[in-house]
Amino acid sequence: MVTFLMATMRCLREINYSVNQQKRETVRQDAQDVINVQRGLACGGWGLGDRMGSVGHSAVREARRLYCTARAGTFLTDSMTKRKQNKDKTGTASVKNRNPSITARYFEQRGGEILETIRQLVEMESPSDNKEAVDRLGEALAKKFSELGGKVHFHRTAKFGDHLQVDFAARDDRKPVLLLGHMDTVYPIGTLATMPCRVADGRLWGPGTLDMKSGIGLMLHSIEALRARNGESPRSVTVLLVSDEEVGSDSSRHITEELAKKSEAVLVLEPAYGLQGAVKTARKGVGEYSLKVSGIAAHSGLDFKKGQSAILELALQIAKIAEFTDAKRGLTLNVGLVQGGTRVNVVAAEATAAIDVRIVRMKDASGIDRKLRSLRPFNRKCKLEISGGLNRPPMERTAGVAGLYGKATQIAKQLGWRLGEAAVGGGSDGNLTAGLGIPTLDGLGGVGEGAHANHESILISELPRRAALLAELIEAV
Ligand SMILES: [Zn+2]
């Protein structure tokens, strides 16, 4: 009841605003809205939530009404919008409709709804290794996207959650924009018990708030806004939400790459960089290698001399591998895992190391691969086996990436802020699409800190302008 009253009051405030600001036809529409509010038909809540099932496409209609309210003095009724579309089937109508300050105002009114959507998503835990849980989230998202008019398709996988693809068709013939993200998180089921989803200090806290359920929430609301503004999607948009990004994207990689190749550009809704909310225009490439050393086991007391220690050999190799790091080039090697031996009184017959490799430039990949593969044993009685390779190519700041960033900064400027850029060491699926030469802009998601940590949180105040940026960018690309 309280929620309904608040929603009604909010709606009435907007209506007052419209009545004061707009022409006669707007007033007429708003009068109808007042009646709707009294009947509980309008502004009754956030249409993308559970209510959505019973109200059908009214979420989009309601969004459109809000959008029109935001467009003070240039109100378009449904029928006017249709007439405009009929006149211009080439898609230019949508471009004409662009006006970042109206979009900003629209999202300022909807900040609470965006927050509520993200909260719902966070409360559906979705660790990469729990197919059932990720599938549950996938189904809920499929419902939300299809209620916005998207065509849903699941790419079934046996081990991970099914990857979710949603296509929004449009009349214009531009290639689609791919909105890329992931549903999985690094947090096991039950994390919410110790790390509850809550609002405090201007932030939404909880597992996956930043990485990257806020990004998914922004996708939903941007698409809703674009449909509200244009009556349909102003250009074709493909959404891909994979379920295995946090564990290397092995099962989704080919889908991401296929869809990217068909797209004009890729917008990745991974978290922004830092509390200033910079987007990511470069990411290091990531490789993973395994070095296995085989020695000869022996009793450390009786037969010490017969033993050939794999652990000793591995230790020497690790020191050698550390020398391959070239920090100036952004090339780093980290031995992050070592295993070996069986007992303290046995000379170890086996030892292995897992090596994380990061590169800034693709051309460094073959050089480091060659160096690792040409490691030779210090102790000739030990054998080395090296396996692995580059998982994700670097996302380099190509002309295509810079062009996208340029468009984004222009929009941000129109929205009244300066959008920074950052080059980061961590990889994402944006690396895969950028590696194919498709213009990619990453870090368009939530602004916050503590990804993968127990202080993971997003800044609530940033949500409206991030949503506005995304909506405008989808059209502008
Ligand atoms: Zn992520």
Model pLDDT for residues 46-67, shown as the tens digit of each residue = 233 333 332 335 666 666 666 6
Residue 35 pLDDT more than 60? no
pLDDT at residue 120, rounded to an integer: 98
Residue 312 CA, ligand 1 centroid: distance in Å: 38
CA gap 323, 325 in Å, rounded: 5
Residue 361 banded pLDDT, cuts 50, 70, 90: very high
pLDDT at residue 64, rounded to an integer: 66
DSSP string, 403-417: HHHHHHHHHHHHTT-
CA gap 132, 458 in Å, rounded: 27
CA gap 46, 29 in Å, rounded: 20
- Residue 259 tokens read as 């869809």
8 A C-beta contact, residue 280 and residue 423: yes
The letter for the amino acid at 195 is M
pLDDT at residue 410, rounded to an integer: 96
Residue 83 pLDDT more than 50? no
Where is mean pLDDT largest: 36-40, 71-75, 228-232?
228-232
The letter for the amino acid at 22 is Q
Laid out side by side, the sheet with 448-449 consists of: 198-200, 203-205, 457-459, 448-449
Residue 212 CA, ligand 1 centroid: distance in Å: 5
pLDDT at residue 442, rounded to an integer: 98
- Give the mean pLDDT of 30-36: 37
The letter for the amino acid at 449 is E
Match 């074709």 to its residue by tokens: 236
Q: Write the pLDDT tens digit of every residue in 310-352.
A: 999 999 999 999 999 999 999 999 999 999 999 999 999 999 9
Alpha helices in 243-347 (DSSP H): 253-261, 310-322
Residue 202 CA, ligand 1 centroid: distance in Å: 22
Name residues whose C-beta falls within 8 Å of residue 138's C-beta, 6 or more positions apart in sequence: 154, 161, 162, 164, 183, 241, 243
- Give the mean pLDDT of 272-296: 97
Residue 428 CA, ligand 1 centroid: distance in Å: 7
- Note the maximum CA span of the chain: 100
Q: Write the pLDDT tens digit of every residue in 263-275.
A: 999 999 999 999 9
Vertex 134, ends 132 and 138: CA angle to 5°? 115
Residue 305 CA, ligand 1 centroid: distance in Å: 50
Q: Write the pLDDT tens digit of every residue in 375-412.
A: 999 999 999 999 999 999 999 999 999 999 999 999 99
Residue 441 CA, ligand 1 centroid: distance in Å: 14
Residue 182 CA, ligand 1 centroid: distance in Å: 7
pLDDT at residue 71, rounded to an integer: 55
pLDDT at residue 59, rounded to an integer: 63
8 A C-beta contact, residue 313 and residue 293: yes
Residue 186 CA, ligand 1 centroid: distance in Å: 9
pLDDT at residue 228, rounded to an integer: 86
Q: Write the pLDDT tens digit of every residue in 119-147.
A: 999 999 999 999 999 999 999 999 999 99
Where is mean pLDDT largest: 36-50, 205-219, 222-236?
205-219
Beta bridge partners of 239: 166, 179
CA gap 330, 395 in Å, rounded: 13
In 3D space, the residue among 308, 287, 290 whose CA is nearest the CA of residue 385 turns out to be: 290
Residue 201 CA, ligand 1 centroid: distance in Å: 24
The number of C-alpha atoms within 13 Å of 38 and in the hemisphere containing its C-beta is 6
Mean pLDDT (the chain, rounded): 85
8 A C-beta contact, residue 295 and residue 349: yes
pLDDT at residue 66, rounded to an integer: 65
DSSP string, 22-76: S-HHHHHHHHHHHHHHHTT-SSSS-TTSTTHHHHTTHHHHHHHHHHHHHSTT---
Give the containing element (helix H, strand E) for 203: strand 203-205
Residue 171 banded pLDDT, cuts 50, 70, 90: confident
Residue 456 CA, ligand 1 centroid: distance in Å: 12
296 vs 232, residue with greater confidence = 296
In 3D space, the residue among 106, 37, 50 whose CA is nearest the CA of residue 74 turns out to be: 106
Residue 172 banded pLDDT, cuts 50, 70, 90: confident
Residue 357 CA, ligand 1 centroid: distance in Å: 19
183 vs 172, residue with greater confidence = 183
Residue 234 banded pLDDT, cuts 50, 70, 90: confident
- Give the mean pLDDT of 362-378: 97
Laid out side by side, the sheet with 350-359 consists of: 332-340, 350-359, 285-294, 383-392
Residue 188 CA, ligand 1 centroid: distance in Å: 15
Q: Residue 282 burial (CB < 10 Å; 0-12/13-18/19+)?
A: buried
Residue 245 CA, ligand 1 centroid: distance in Å: 7
237 vs 65, residue with greater confidence = 237
